[in-house]
């Protein structure tokens, strides 16, 4: 992924997982749509961004936990 594409993806995730919103089914469904669309676009048979996907997965999980518990992150 190009850095610009990565930042655009992270911005979408940040907008969806703002702490002032409640964690409900609509948020989870929108989050799944954005993640699935990005992965399907960038993942190919010869894709080399598996490590990047793992890092992004950790980051997204941290965002969802922060949203659920309404706490600040340490990063």
pLDDT at 72: 62
Q: Where are the alpha helices (DSSP H) in 1-75?
A: 3-16, 25-42, 50-69
Q: Are 67 and 18 in contact (CB under 8 A)?
A: yes
* Residue whose C-alpha is closest to residue 13's, from 3, 40, 32: 32
38-57 pLDDT, tens per residue? 988 887 777 778 888 899 99
pLDDT at 9: 95
Distance CA 59, CA 62 (A): 5
Structure letter (DSSP) for residue 6: H
Which portions of the chain are predicted below pLDDT 50? none
Query: Domain map of the chain by residue range?
Result: 3-69
């Amino acid at each position: 992924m190009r850095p610009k594409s990565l930042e655009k993806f992270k911005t979408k995730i940040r907008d969806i997982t703002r702490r002032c919103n409640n964690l409900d089914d609509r948020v989870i469904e929108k989050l799944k749509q954005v993640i699935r669309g990005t992965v399907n676009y960038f993942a190919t048979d010869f894709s080399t961004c598996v490590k990047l996907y793992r890092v992004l997965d950790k980051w997204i999980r941290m965002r969802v936990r922060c949203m659920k518990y309404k706490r600040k992150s340490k990063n």
